[in-house]
Structure 1
Amino acid sequence: MRIKNMKLSSTAILLIGFALILSSCSNTAKKSSQNEAAESVYASEIIPFFNHWNLILGDGSNAGQAINYEHKDFFYTANDGQTDWVVFKAPNGGDTHGTSNNTRTELAQLKKWYPATADDKLTATLKVMNVSATGDARVAASYAVVVGQIHSADGHENEPLKIFYKKFPGHTKGSVFWHYEINTAGDDNSGRWDFSTAVWGYDFSIVGTEENTYPEEPGDGIALGEEFSYEIVVKDGLMSLIFTSEGHETKTFTKNLIESEYTTTADIPEQTQKLFVPIGQDGVERDIAYTGEGIFFKLGCYNQTNGKSPEVNMNWCSGAETFDGDIQKQYETGNYAEVWFKTASIYVSDDAVSNQGYFTKND
């Protein structure tokens, strides 16, 4: 009788133990799920300035103000083991926004302001994680992404500033450079062109001699995944730029946005003569440049590599793989741009902000 009772007690103990294990596993799973939920953050929690912007996604749609918002294909957050980052991602091909040939996941400032009366600043710290794996090396925009801009909302809607990152296939280091686009004189904007200035590595004009032949790797370039920062200040018509990155020389530049230096054909720089004049872009700028036009900041991932044939335009049409707009296939094969932002800030003075308030034009 004692033996039978002992057997029952052992069985009961085993059952109780098994139940406790199941309960423990269940609680652990719940805790794990709760931790994951607690660790999940929105972009607006990392960089709390999204009330100043509308977000354009890589499928051409306007997501509006991205507060407590994410999109698994284009806009979300990631942690690199130390820091939370805001991820902007855009494929080579797909639906685009406005008149552009290029996809973007990018913030566009909601209010415009005027360069002559400005006291405005945008700063960002970022790292580029991917540029397109394909493209035509002879096309200057191939393998490039724009990570910050100033854009005009009026007139020709040209761009007094674009900040680029570009890396050729097979290279470890890429280049950072910035562009000024002339605000073309007259009603015809077809002659507009960009002038490119190198920060680290090459400028826009350094291209391959053949479709799959690349220049030498830049010695002072920036690698994928390497942090760098920019600061853009526009005050009383003068744009000042500061670029910093650990282990690299700090670079500073200035450009007058209200008085042009390109008002005659004799003023067209040699770089422009090489890149743009051969394709018919040989305009001159109006004397007052961007005076009187409302302008606004942009920030994010504006992919410069697209699938259009280089025969259309040897500066901007990359002939890259787009898989007929299949976004997932492009992501699987490296045919996309991806930029991670760690910090960013915006300041716009009250005097510089347009009394017209919000606007909708946005190329």
Structure 2
Amino acid sequence: MFLQKTVVISSLFLLIICCTTIANESLTLSAERPPGHNFELIDWNISLPVDTNKDGQVDTIPAVYLEKGFEYKPYFYTADDGGMVFTAFVDGVKTSKNTKYTRSELREMLRRGDNSVKVKGVTKNNWVFSSVRGKTQRQAGGVDGRLDATLAVNNVTVTGKDYQIGRVIIGQIHAKDDEPARLYYRKLPNNNKGVVYLAHEPRKGDEQYYEFNGSRANDIDDPIDGIALDEKFSYSIDVKGDILTVTLSREGKEDITQVVNMKDSGYHKRDQYMYFKAGVYNQNNSGDPKDYVQATFYRLENSHTGYDY
């Protein structure tokens, strides 16, 4: 199935796949390399908001193709400064019937190209919280986890419904069905700067929101401590047991950290498995079809206890 998609992308959209693998030996990003040669992407795949073979599903590019040098403008490519660009328009193919929004987003795949390992479930492809007891930890690909990223949000939507304008998810922890962590950036059209905020979704009950550097409301004034488009910042999403710690970092400013106790959120059950996501998940489906979100990543590192890569 993927090979069919590759052929279609190649013929219609000038897909670029380099056949020579370049080791990620240098921390220096190069505009001459595709994303998979600037970043270690062998333990990720990517979903893009297109359906090139018309099978009714988004195109998902496996880890081995990312490592070989896959890129596909305007959705996923290397910027002039070497960063890894993700773009998602309001109009595009969704990942499932239950998904409202488009995305150009990496999904963590700890199996590192080993297709004998199942994608879903408590397998070596996913990780679990250390609050999960017994053999479940041994069955998983890792225990607990940390995602570190440095990025700049380049564009957000300016059209659509008030509550959707300007918002994009830039990092996640996804569980079996729910999302223990969703990290948002949001900037309103009349403001020069945007804000970062966190959503925690318990398996039962209402979502919990935590604001870092300003309000997530639909009608706020320009946030004093906000982040402008194209301004670099960093985040970490860290889990140890039932404790979720998310930190926002910016040059010249003190870190802002939010700690969430997930003890009562239901993720300590044996059927709950986790994976990180990073990129752009557009949170606007009511705007102009060509309106879009875009972010450029300059660092992306994932780590887990027992995952020795």
* Deviation digits for residues 77-136 of structure 1 (CA, Å, limit 9, x no counterpart): 0124xxx10000000121110221100000111221111253321100000000012122
Aligned to 2:225: 220
Any gaps of 5 or more consecutive residues in structure 1? 1-37, 185-191, 209-214, 261-284, 308-319, 323-329, 353-363
User: Counterpart amino acid of 2:184?
Assistant: F
TM-score calculated relative to the size of structure 2: 0.74
Confirm or deny: 8 A CA contact 1:239 1:256 kept in the other structure.
Answer: yes
Candidates 343, 348, 351, aligned match of 2:299: 343
CA pair 290-103 structure 1, distance change in 2 beyond 3 A: farther
> Is the contact made by 2:31 and 2:83 (CA closer than 8 Å) also made in structure 1?
no
User: What are the superposed Cα offsets for residues 305-325 of structure 1, whole Å, 9 maximum, x if unpaired?
Assistant: 112xxxxxxxxxxxx111xxx
Distance 1:40 1:175, change over 3 A: same
1:167 and 1:174 in contact (8 A); partners too: yes
**Residue 252 (1) aligns with residue 243 (2):** no
Match of 1:41 among 26, 33, 42: 33
The equivalent position to 1:160 in structure 2, one of 174, 180, 183, is 180
Does residue 58 of the first structure (1) align with residue 71 of the second (2)? Answer: no
CA distance in 1, matches of 2:268, 2:152: 30
> Do the aligned residues in 2 keep the contact of 1:144 with 1:304 (CA within 8 Å)?
yes
Report what 2:100 is aligned to: 101
TM-score, scaled relative to structure 1: 0.63
Match of 2:170 among 143, 147, 161: 147
Structure number with higher relative contact order (C-alpha < 8 Å, ≥ 6 residues apart): 1
Q: CA deviation at 1:253?
A: 1.8
In structure 1, the partner of 2:70 is: 69
Q: What does residue 122 of structure 2 align with?
A: none
Structure number having the greater helix percentage: 1
- CA distance in 2 between counterparts of 1:290 and 1:302 reads 26
Please list the CA deviations of residues 26-72 of structure 1 after superposition, one character each: whole Å capped at 9, or x if unmatched. xxxxxxxxxxxx95211012112x11111101222111222211001
Contact 1:56-1:64 at 8 Å conserved across structures: no
Match of 1:321 among 277, 280, 288: 288
User: Structure 1 residues 248, 58: closer, same or farther in 2, change over 3 A?
Assistant: farther
Contact 2:186 2:194 in 1 (8 A): yes
CA spacing shift, 1:242–1:52, aligned 2, 3 Å: same
What secondary structure, in the 3-state scheme, does the structure 2 residue paired with 1:149 have?
Answer: strand
SS of 2:95's partner is coil
What's the secondary structure of 1:306's corresponding residue?
A: coil
Supply the RMSD in Å over aligned alpha carbons.
1.9
1:269-348 alignment runs, 5 A limit: 288-292=266-270, 293-307=272-286, 320-322=287-289, 330=290, 335-348=291-304
Give the residue type in structure 2 aligned to 1:291.
Answer: K
CA distance in 2, matches of 1:345, 1:134: 33
Query: What is the deviation of 1:232?
Result: 1.5
> Aligned in 2, Cα 1:290/1:304: closer, same or farther, shift over 3 Å?
farther
Q: How much does 1:219 deviate?
A: 1.0
Distance 2:74 2:32 in 1: 16
Hey, what's the Cα distance between the residues in 1 that align with 2:169 and 2:232?
Answer: 15
8 A contact 1:173–1:217 mirrored in 2: yes
Report what 2:202 is aligned to.
182
Once the two structures are superposed, what CA deviation does each residue of 1:174-197 show, in whole Å capped at 9, x if it has no partner? 11111101212xxxxxxx542211
Partner of 1:133: 158
Distance apart, 1:254 and its partner CA: 1.6
Structure 1 counterpart of 2:171, one-letter code:
G
Give 3-state SS (helix, strand or coil) of 1:79's partner.
coil
User: In 1, distance between residues paired with 2:268 and 2:72?
Assistant: 35
Residue correspondences, number: 241
1 CA distance for matches of 2:144 and 2:31?
37
| Higher gyration radius (CA) | 1
